[in-house]
Chains A and B, each alone.
Chain A
């Protein structure tokens, strides 16, 4: 349900465009809010429970609404480890459910695994802090997956 916290043992993925990935390195800029964004868009892999990770990723890709680049990537984070890594700098950081309803007019199916990272600093008000927090989240990336199959 919208706003419910995602368990710390679970995993999420965030789409990252090619310009924010260099080799195996993901830049912290991938985890900084854009102007007007309240939370960072992610997908909760373990929403699709009891199936292998490649099938979880397949379902995320299937329902993903943005156009992804061939060289784009889904970056994978563990919720609990990421929160623990930022516990001193950003204790309010949270990962919460944000399922999306179907939008037939736009040609979108429902995306029940959609979620957000909440509590991130506003880059307009605190640009340096937003950068630093982004870098610290990027340090928690555990795996990188192709955006397309």
Chain B
């Protein structure tokens, strides 16, 4: 379970719990969302010990301006009725992971569809410029992106030689460019920004998919390709 609290105004001198949290916990309790087992004073701060389904956790009223239970995504957050209060978000880990994975899968599907649309546009560009798209390059590219679990969308280009080149890069300057040669082979250009300012490792070569994956992992650049 993860709880994130924001509080920019409470001081130890304020002994009474904010009205908002009382109202909110009460409302949630009435709705059966939480059951308050006890309220206590600890370090002069009231503590709400809340039992929510099978999860137990404590919240200091002094650290809280609102509570939003976010593992029930269909339920509207209740905090809006409580003015300018800040919030705590409570995640039930299994559901949070489920949601995270679902979102990544959806994003990956959107990326694949966007790539297919882009390939359509590149076919038109090929016709206009008398370029014959290398069908092996295209099928290798699709095979490559389908092998990535949670694909991130990069950019895709058609080279003069008819091969496709996919590029992923970061705002910092990390860069992966893969030209798909066919036969599961790629010609790669990879830039890795080093910790020292202004230092960039630049690598270019040819390798098969496995070799390129190994290189990308060794340079800790997997995050450019996958979520």
Does B bind A?
yes
A: residues with CB less than 8 A from B are: 17-23, 25, 27-29, 32, 34, 69, 89, 127-129, 131-132, 135-136
Contact among B121, B122, B131, B189 for A135, CB-based, below 8 A? B189
Majority secondary structure, A binding face:
helix
Interface set of B (CB-CB < 8 Å, partner A): 118, 121-122, 125-126, 128-129, 131, 155-160, 165, 167, 175, 177, 179, 187-189, 191, 202, 204-206
Q: When the two chains form their complex, are residues A28 and B189 in contact, meaning their CB atoms are under 8 A apart?
A: yes
> When the two chains form their complex, are residues B157 and A27 in contact, meaning their CB atoms are under 8 A apart?
yes
A19 touching B187, Cβ below 8 Å: no
B155 touches A131 (CB 8 A): no
The 6 closest A-B pairs by CB, nearest first: A19-B125, A19-B158, A22-B155, A128-B204, A27-B157, A132-B204
The complex places the Cα of A25 from the Cα of B155 at a distance, in Å, of: 8
Secondary structure dominating the interface of B: strand
Contact assessment for B125 and A132 in the assembled complex, using a CB-CB cutoff below 8 Å: no
Contact with A27, one of B121, B131, B167 (Cβ below 8 angstroms): B167
Q: Report the separation of the CA atoms of residues A87 and B128 in the bound assembly, to the nearest whole angstrom.
A: 36
> Cβ of A23: which chain B residues have Cβ within 8 Å of it?
155
6 contacts between A and B (CB under 8 A): A19-B129, A20-B157, A29-B165, A127-B187, A132-B202, A135-B175
Chain A nearest CB from B3 CB (Å) reads 39
Tell me the nearest residue of chain A to B156, going by C-beta: A22
Tell me, rounded to whole Å, the shortest Cβ–Cβ distance linking B130 to chain A: 11
A-chain residues with CB within 8 Å of residue B128 when the two chains form the complex: 17-18, 69
- A106 to B: closest C-beta gap in Å: 18
Let me know if B156 and A131 touch, CB within 8 A.
no
CB distance from A132 to the nearest CB of B (A): 4
Q: How far is the CB of B181 from chain A (nearest CB, A)?
A: 9
Q: Which residue of B lies closest to A88 (CB)?
A: B202
- Selected from B157, B159, B177, the residue in CB contact (under 8 A) with A22 is B157
Q: Report whether B205 and A128 are in contact in the complex, using a CB–CB cutoff of 8 Å.
A: yes
